[in-house]
Amino acid sequence: MFGYDTGTQAYNRFNSSPHSGFAASETMGPKKGGQSSGNKPKVGKQTAQQNAAPEESDQDERLQAIVLSDSYQTRFQPLTLETPRCLLPLCNTPLLEYTFEFLALAGVSEVIVVCCAHADQIQEYIANSRWSNPPSPFTIETVLSPESVSVGDAMRDLDAKGLITSDFLLVSGDIVCNVPFDKVLADHRQRRAKDKNAIMTMVLREASPFHRTRARAESAIFVLDEQTNQCVHYEEIKTRRHMKQISLDPEIFNKHTDLAIRNDFIDCHIDICSPDVPALFTENFDYNHIRKDFVHGILTSDLLGKTIFAHIVTDNYAARVRSLQTYDAVSKDVISRWTYPITPDSNLLADQTFQYQRGHIYKEDGIVLARSCRINSCTVVGAGTAVDDGTVITGSVIGRRCKIGKNVSIRSAYIWDDVTIEDDAIIESAIIANGAVIGASSHVAPGAIVSYNVKIDTNIIVDGNKRLTKYLGEEDKKVDTDAVGENGDGYVYEDASEAEEDDDYEEIVNSSGLVYNMAFLNASDTSFSTVSADQAHRKSRRRRVSTASNNTIASEDSDEDSFLREAQASVERAVAENHDLDIAALELSTLRMAKNAQFHEVRAATIAALIGRISHLINSNTLKARAAVESVLNRWGPLFRRQVFDQADQIDFLLLIQRDCTRRMQGSSILLHAINCLYDQDILEEEAILTWWYQDPQRKEDADMVKVGELVPRWLEWLTTAEEESDSE
Amino acid sequence: MEFQAIILCGPGKGLEPLVSPLLPKALLPIANKPMLYYALEWCQRAGLSSVVVVCSSGAEQPISKYITLGYNSMQTSKSMKVEVVVHDGETGSIVKGLKDKIKLDFILLPCDFITDLPPQTVVDIHRNQPLKTIGTGIWYINSLDTMDKQTLKPDLTIHTPISNPHPQLLDIYSRPKANNQLHVRMSMLWEYPQATISTSLLESFIYVFSRKALDYDFGDADTASIITVMSEKGGGGESLKWNKPWTSVVRDIARDSWCHSKSADRDTVGMYVVPKEHSFIRCKSVSAYLEANRLILKQSSYTLPPTTATANGAAIGRDSLVGIGTVMEEKTSVKRSIVGADCIFGRECRLSGCVVMDGVVLGDGVHLDNCIIGNGVIIEDKARLVGCTVEGRYVVREATQSKNEILRGYSAEGLLDTSDEYEDEENEESDEDEDEEEDDDDEVDENDLVESEGEGIDVDDDDLFDRR
């Protein structure tokens, strides 16, 4: 047990809460447990409970989290050729630990890690970590999704496996966040309870647009309703193409009074999703990216009727390590304790012994420092590292068991474990991965990456844009002596495949470097000269896809009769099974759009269904005419609100009811009560009724029509007298 | 007081058929007092010493007459100097043209607003703005449910969040028409990462501006670029920047605060939204005019009608106002209404929620509900009008029944044609009337829209955005 007592305050706090007792002992139920199968404690009571009522009983307590361990990007290559991104060390602790720490804080009780590349390493890491053992606040399970090449694939995989039972937290394996989650979750659940269509809540951290942890390449503009925080528009910022403007659909101004356009969010892709989200990914197989495809797709689709909300966080830390630039920024934030309680000295790993010293210096036990070396502020030094005379280290992270020679200068660099740096070397703003050797008097320029076990000879200058690796892959290459020197070992890494496929390549490379060139981002309009034709083209392409699919539905069966039949059946079903009104309305409007039907037909179908229902109630002697009409129309009348708009509609509507009533028993009294009821509900206005009665020739088209209207004059009399009474008051 | 006021009197196109060359909008009575009275009274309360009333040449005579004979004679203290100036032109050039008369910071006012917002509030807001703020505009949200929403047509106002200590105006667009997208500039979002698009804010046309705004000129290095660009576009030189509706001028100043690469030290336009507890109405439409009358009725903690007006057995509600010299016959009742001077009402007339101007004659048994009756109208026996607007001097025939109609004289029709022309002409050249303002905005904004539509072609019509 000793090992687990070294956890963070957050973790300890969590463990001491009554909640964690339940969470820790919760089982994974009948699901297949990958590597973490050793973590199955007593299966019994709770498995039964889960089987019996997976959703209702413990909706409030249980929270699933999906961790996407893969980023489906290549920004960290060549480092990620050998290690998955989520296991790269940030301040000497693998990134995944920060994610788990956040999930523990958030009160998650079940974590599913989706592995793709390097799945074996991740599984092994999780199996050996403290999260897989009993004191862990959540159960953990790894799911392999080796085929997936995007977030969308992973989601579709999850949907197919049926692992998601309730609303879940979706995060990537590379976030650092200390946002308390109860409020976010409560808000989300409240919204969900009110509106089933609120399928997703994005957690967005407010910051300045030029904040260092805001990834340049992946930031976006969010347009939110100011009152509800409903997201109505999402637009990714294209830095390379000098995006000049964003375009908003005028439709949104009719639906929302005040819209906030925000360019100051850090979006770490922390989302609470309903189970609809994976299902929607399955339905739309071309959705890949969670933001630019999914969010954008949902927001631009009228048919789906789903809504996405944002939760704005103003005073906690949230960041995602998604590029080298953000790696640098987040490391600095962790060192300067913005992420408290997640800091190096909280010793997230069992064997860590960091202690905090003034000036944001963190040292582990067992460090050998020569008398004349200087460790300046904002530095982390791991155990077993030896620093020799005259060396100066400033604002850097040094891993474990490193050997740093004499008179070395290290500034803003990230040096991982077992690195050897020989005398008089200079390292600035670079990443030196495990086992690398930097020869004496060599100079690693800002922005360079020296991957695992690369050896650099003495007196070599490594340029800032170089990425050196020893990983060969399938290629057969000779040691690149120009780059690493005669006695060196390693190759210059070139990301060739990417360049061909992705036209954003340049943007990504340029903006994901460790050292970000601010000149690159031009905030003013002055140099904007090209309108992003490509962007427009892309949009139209996407749109075309969706319309095409609509057309196919429409062409399958477009005649009016089939619409009437289906719509009527849809309403009848809604009434019989007592659906939600909104759902029934949505179903109708979907049907209407799919079949390209007129509102007239929608009204006809709805009336047929509802009057049929009323007539059924009367004929079966369940209720008297008036009660039957009221019971049905009070419940379902509001459907007409979305079908009847102006006076002409109302008159058409009245004629339809009248016609329908001619074929019913007690048609005249149904008609009378229906008019009365709908008048009370303000669906029919006096004027329309009067016009219909006195002026419309169709009303008296044939004998049936006249007969069914026999009771109406009395009601009209009442209406006019009532009117006069209220007038004379 | 270190402020001067400019009151702009427009032709009031939205108030047809109530307005005429003889009765310009500024003199249309609200609760039996001309609209202009309220604006002047507001200035008086603010403690201003000098007011410039600007009207178009056609309306000068009646307005100066009112000010010399009506308003000035009513005032006990003559501390406030009121001056009438004739100016036919865009509101922007009107303001610019007053450069010589305006020595202090100025408050720009329309003649058609009714509010219980104290003038001190407005002045204080401007005084407390940061130094960079060259002017402050007031916006309001319609709080009246009974107002005809379609006549309001709010623009899309883009500003920094109202919850900020000093909200700032960023841009104004007219509502994009269907299928036209609204394009929001990235440069604005980099400068102001939190921007709000409001769809419900209405322009009060009350602006408090620093005197130095009038000096924005060719010689001024700061704005030279704008003017150069503008003149390239139209080839007109200095006057071009100002020769458009004032709102567009304000919008340009606001845009100027972010569309440059070095916008940091640019002048900005502050904004203030009338809080919910105050009402604000601009009489730009017949519906708003009716509401303004009711608002005044409500505010003036019920005025008992002057006794001279009441006749035997007529019931005048305490919620009504009746002018001097009006006579009412038996069993006539007046509720929630305003009746002008020298009217004659027959027997058993019923009025509710109406505005009746001077010299109106009603026969017996006339029922009027939510109507506006112009000067000298004659309504014969048993007519029933609901929600109607009746032009001055019209004769409503016996037993007429009308609902939601505008009744205007055949005889006047011919006149109206010419007066329409007259209005149009006037619109083109002058005045702060909103319709015209919007027309102009449309024009400008469409350019904006077009500009971004083209692919790869630099169609910078506006030219504000491509500059070194």
Residues of A with Cβ-Cβ distance to B193 under 8 angstroms: 208-209, 262-264
Report the residue of chain B nearest A248, measured CA to CA: B182
pLDDT-based confidence at B90, cuts 50/70/90?
confident
The most confident of the ranges A38-52, A225-239, B173-187 is: A225-239
- B454 contacts chain A (CB < 8 A): yes
Report the residue of chain A nearest B183, measured CA to CA: A247
B449 Rama sector, left if φ>0, alpha if ψ -120 to 50, beta otherwise: alpha
- A259 contacts chain B (CB < 8 A): yes
Mean pLDDT across chain A:
78
Residues of A with Cβ-Cβ distance to B335 under 8 angstroms: none
Under an 8 A CB cutoff, do B181 and A247 touch? yes
Dist. CA B383–CA B361, nearest whole Å: 12
- B259 contacts chain A (CB < 8 A): yes
Dist. CA B66–CA B3, nearest whole Å: 24
Under an 8 A CB cutoff, do B465 and A536 touch? no
pLDDT value for A398? 94
Under an 8 A CB cutoff, do A727 and B161 touch? no
pLDDT-based confidence at A12, cuts 50/70/90?
very low
Number of helices (H), then strands (E), belonging to chain B: the values are 12, 32
Report the residue of chain A nearest B368, measured CA to CA: A727
Contact A345, A92 (CB under 8 A): no
Say which residues have a Cβ less than 8 Å from residue A636's Cβ, sequence separation at least 6: A571, A574, A575, A581, A584, A610
Report the residue of chain A nearest B153, measured CA to CA: A254
Q: pLDDT, tens digit, for every residue of A418-451?
A: 999 999 999 988 999 999 999 999 999 888 889 9
User: Do the strands B315-316 and B182-185 form a parallel or antiparallel pair, or are they unpaired?
Assistant: unpaired
Residues of B with Cβ-Cβ distance to A249 under 8 angstroms: 181
CA atoms within a 13 Å half-sphere pointing along the CA-CB vector of A558:
11
Contact A329, A319 (CB under 8 A): yes
Residues of A with Cβ-Cβ distance to B176 under 8 angstroms: 250, 253
- pLDDT exceeds 90 at position B207: yes
- pLDDT exceeds 60 at position B218: no
- pLDDT exceeds 80 at position B203: yes
Contact B427, B444 (CB under 8 A): no
* Token code pair at residue B280: 């604000």
pLDDT value for A242? 64
* Token code pair at residue B134: 């060259």
Residues of A with Cβ-Cβ distance to B175 under 8 angstroms: 250, 253
Under an 8 A CB cutoff, do B177 and A250 touch? yes
Burial B411-424 (b: 16+ CB within 10 A, else e): ebeeebeebeebbe
- pLDDT exceeds 80 at position B306: no
Q: pLDDT, tens digit, for every residue of B454-463?
A: 333 333 333 3
- pLDDT exceeds 90 at position A622: no
- B196 contacts chain A (CB < 8 A): yes
Q: pLDDT, tens digit, for every residue of A92-140?
A: 999 999 999 999 888 899 999 999 888 899 999 999 888 888 788 889 9
The most confident of the ranges A236-240, A631-635, B273-277 is: B273-277
Residues of B with Cβ-Cβ distance to A526 under 8 angstroms: 260-261, 466-468
| Cis bond before residue B34 (omega within 30° of 0) | no
E-state strands within B68-112:
81-86, 105-110
One-letter amino acid of B468: R
Q: pLDDT, tens digit, for every residue of A360-380?
A: 999 999 999 999 999 999 999
**Mean of pLDDT values over A656-662:** 83
- B284 contacts chain A (CB < 8 A): no
Q: How far is A231 from chain B (nearest CA, A)?
A: 13
Nearest residue, CB atoms, A250 vs list B176, B189, B191:
B176
Dist. CA A604–CA A653, nearest whole Å: 8
Query: Which residue in the block uniquely carries the two structure tokens 């704008």?
Result: B226
**Helix ranges restricted to H, A34-114:** 45-52, 79-82, 95-106
Q: How far is A536 from chain B (nearest CA, A)?
A: 8
Kindly state the percentage of chain B with pLDDT values over 70: 76
Dist. CA A595–CA B208, nearest whole Å: 56
Nearest residue, CB atoms, B196 vs list A245, A259, A533:
A259
Under an 8 A CB cutoff, do B196 and A529 touch? no
Query: Which residue in the block uniquely carries the two structure tokens 């609901």?
Result: B386
A100 Rama sector, left if φ>0, alpha if ψ -120 to 50, beta otherwise: alpha
Partner B, chain A 209-228, Cβ-Cβ below 8 Å: 209, 221, 223, 226
- pLDDT exceeds 80 at position A205: yes
CA atoms within a 13 Å half-sphere pointing along the CA-CB vector of A425:
30
Q: How far is A262 from chain B (nearest CA, A)?
A: 5
Residues of B with Cβ-Cβ distance to A528 under 8 angstroms: 186-187, 465-466
Report the residue of chain B nearest A260, measured CA to CA: B196
- pLDDT exceeds 60 at position A44: no
Report the residue of chain A nearest B155, measured CA to CA: A253
The strand pairing partners of B339, in sequence order, are: B322, B356
> Residue B463, SS3?
coil
pLDDT-based confidence at B435, cuts 50/70/90?
very low
* Token code pair at residue B38: 């309220």
One-letter amino acid of A174: D
Nearest residue, CB atoms, B187 vs list A221, A525, A727:
A525
Report the residue of chain B nearest A527, measured CA to CA: B466
pLDDT value for B467? 31
Q: How far is B201 from chain A (nearest CA, A)?
A: 9
Backbone angles phi, psi at B448, to 5 degrees: -55, -45
Under an 8 A CB cutoff, do A533 and B455 touch? yes
Under an 8 A CB cutoff, do B465 and A525 touch? yes
Dist. CA B15–CA B21, nearest whole Å: 13
The strand pairing partners of A225, in sequence order, are: A259
- pLDDT exceeds 90 at position A413: yes
pLDDT value for B308? 53
Q: pLDDT, tens digit, for every residue of A522-555?
A: 333 333 323 333 333 333 333 333 333 333 333 3
pLDDT-based confidence at A32, cuts 50/70/90?
very low
- A260 contacts chain B (CB < 8 A): yes
Under an 8 A CB cutoff, do B199 and A259 touch? yes
Under an 8 A CB cutoff, do A257 and B161 touch? no
pLDDT value for A726? 57
Q: How far is A266 from chain B (nearest CA, A)?
A: 12
**Mean of pLDDT values over B127-133:** 86
- B177 contacts chain A (CB < 8 A): yes
Under an 8 A CB cutoff, do A525 and B193 touch? no
- B307 contacts chain A (CB < 8 A): no
Under an 8 A CB cutoff, do A258 and B198 touch? yes
pLDDT value for B208? 92
Residues of B with Cβ-Cβ distance to A220 under 8 angstroms: none
Q: pLDDT, tens digit, for every residue of A575-605?
A: 877 777 888 888 888 778 777 778 888 888 8
Q: pLDDT, tens digit, for every residue of A684-717?
A: 888 888 888 888 777 777 777 877 878 888 888 8
Dist. CA B341–CA B32, nearest whole Å: 8
Backbone angles phi, psi at B187, to 5 degrees: -60, -35
What's the DSSP call for residue B66? Answer: I
Query: Which residue in the block uniquely carries the two structure tokens 């210096």?
Result: A361
One-letter amino acid of A494: E
- A724 contacts chain B (CB < 8 A): no
Report the residue of chain A nearest B157, measured CA to CA: A258
Dist. CA B272–CA A289, nearest whole Å: 41
A422 Rama sector, left if φ>0, alpha if ψ -120 to 50, beta otherwise: beta
Q: How far is A283 from chain B (nearest CA, A)?
A: 28
pLDDT value for B149? 74
Please provide the size of chain A in residues: 729
- pLDDT exceeds 60 at position B125: yes
For residue B253, give the H/E element and its range. Answer: helix B246-256
pLDDT-based confidence at A669, cuts 50/70/90?
confident
Kindly state the percentage of chain B with pLDDT values over 90: 15
- B150 contacts chain A (CB < 8 A): no
**Mean of pLDDT values over A340-346:** 87
E-state strands within A173-282:
175-177, 198-206, 220-225, 230-236, 245-248, 258-262, 265-273
Contact B190, A209 (CB under 8 A): yes
Contact B381, B365 (CB under 8 A): yes
Nearest residue, CB atoms, B196 vs list A226, A246, A523:
A226
Mean pLDDT across chain B:
76
- Taking every pair of Cα atoms in chain A, the longest distance, rounded to a whole number of angstroms, is 112
Contact A500, A485 (CB under 8 A): no
Backbone angles phi, psi at B403, to 5 degrees: -135, 130
Residues of A with Cβ-Cβ distance to B186 under 8 angstroms: 237, 243-246, 523, 525, 528
**Mean of pLDDT values over B63-78:** 77
- A367 contacts chain B (CB < 8 A): no
- B186 contacts chain A (CB < 8 A): yes
pLDDT value for A549? 34
pLDDT-based confidence at A170, cuts 50/70/90?
very high
Under an 8 A CB cutoff, do A525 and B456 touch? no
Q: pLDDT, tens digit, for every residue of A400-409?
A: 999 999 999 9
Under an 8 A CB cutoff, do B190 and A524 touch? yes
For A105-173, give the secondary structure using H, E and C.
HHCCCEEEEEEECEHHHHHHHHHHCHHHCCCCCCEEEEEECCCCCCHHHHHHHHHHHCCCCCCEEEEEC
pLDDT value for A725? 59
Dist. CA B239–CA B217, nearest whole Å: 9
Under an 8 A CB cutoff, do B466 and A528 touch? yes
